[in-house]
Structure 1
Amino acid sequence: MKLLVAIAVAEYRERLEQFFSHQNVKSYNMFDVTGVIKPDKAPHRAGNWFGSNAPTIQNVAFFTVVSEEQAKNILKELDHCKQEMPDCNINAHILNIEDML
């Protein structure tokens, strides 16, 4: 089994849910995330990096446990999406699960 973690700009939520549907992923966890964009000229000190004046973006994050085949196919669909739409802002990561109850 694999742990799939995906993060996307909120506008791509439905597209990512379509990938899950195509691969028969029956359940997943989803939560809203506020992303912080580090300004190019910001000082290197962490206190200024996370300041209230830093620009933010609304993201959505998913995680689910899938089979190896489902994980590979979701990544293939994501790769196709990124080729089709170079600005496609979905990132996915697959982690091996050693043990599970």
Structure 2
Amino acid sequence: MLLYRIPAVLGSHAGYRFHALLSRNGDDPMPEKAGNAMLMPGAFVRHPDRPDWGLGQIQSMIGHRITVNFENAGKVLIDGNVVELVPAEPGRDAAPQS
């Protein structure tokens, strides 16, 4: 069944409701970026293109939408189809130098 492949506009009410129904049924699609499939709420991550955001902790994952609370950017909604977050450990992983 390819219903979850129908593109939904981010931020639209219909798109939100569609993803909520998928997660209730257990038919939630895997994130397009393979590394994101290994993550779970509570895990610490860094955004590969935004090292200035600092360390982040995943708050929730619903479909390809990943909510992360970053040290220097606050709560950010990440599209898991576009960004592959980098796993990190607090205190052990230094922010990448640019």
Higher relative contact order structure (alpha carbons within 8 Å, sequence separation ≥ 6)? 1
Structure with the higher strand share, 1 or 2: 1
Structure with the higher helix share, 1 or 2: 1
Instruction: Pick the TM interval, shorter chain.
Output: under 0.3
TM-score by length of 2: 0.23
TM-score by length of 1: 0.22
- Between structure 1 and structure 2, the one with the greater Rg is 1
